Amino acid sequence: MPVPTIASNSKSMVYDSLQLGTMGLSQDAFMYGMMGFNRLLNNGKLHNDSVIAIVDFSLPSTQKRLFVIDIKNGRLLFNTLVSHGKNTGKLNATSFSNATNSNKSSLGFYITDNTYQGEHGLSLRLQGTEKGINDNAMHRGIVMHGASYVNEDFISNQGYIGRSLGCPAIPDEIHREVIEALKGGACLFIYSANKNYIAHSKMLKQDKTLAMSTPVL
């Protein structure tokens, strides 16, 4: 049975009331993100359905481009810096790959998995949901983790934050709180205004009613 949804104007109200546009999150990133969230939710894929995380790679790495939104209560929980892969670009993320050893970021929808203690401390495994686009994430070891190279000092020194091997790395000082909010089956959407991704993503080719709705949870 489909999850109940409400009118598209309520969805726009969330975007507007949280002033996400003024913080840099593109409306396309938000609308596409909610589209995929609704699809995953209706398919019973989300076990942590109270939040959505959106990474907006249409923004440069000097901007806080990770947005963690509390869907149930209409609150912005976190807005912080996040890295892209070293072969994806320098200041801007422009090239993406699903291939092992590409050291590039992969776009699309992920479902968060379990946490573990790795070389970067507490880390969050990510399961890519889009075949041929990000479904190699587990094999590649693409995870969310903290990193000392994701901070304002790097921006001041070199004009962009440090880059990862493809992981969405976030600042050390906040990584535990973000990971705790997202672990256990939440939706993570990594967006770019990339024509190839938008044209080929099956997650973005769904019923218009679902695309223009916000879940009631």
Report pLDDT for 107. Answer: 98
- Whole-angstrom distance, CA of residue 165 vs CA of residue 84: 8
Cα–Cα distance list, 202 to 17, 31, 43, 95, 208 (Å): 29, 15, 14, 20, 13
Read off the pTM. 0.91
Delimit the domains of the chain by residue range.
Answer: 5-200
**Would you state the pLDDT for residue 11?**
65
The whole-number pLDDT of residue 212 equals 46
| Whole-angstrom distance, CA of residue 110 vs CA of residue 185 | 9
pLDDT at position 205 is 85
CATH classification code of 5-200: 2.40.440.10
Q: Which tens digits make up the pLDDT trace of 184-212?
A: 999 999 999 999 999 999 999 865 445 44
Tell me which residues of the chain have a pLDDT lower than 70.
Answer: 1-11, 206-217
Contact yes or no for 64/24 (Cβ under 8 A): yes
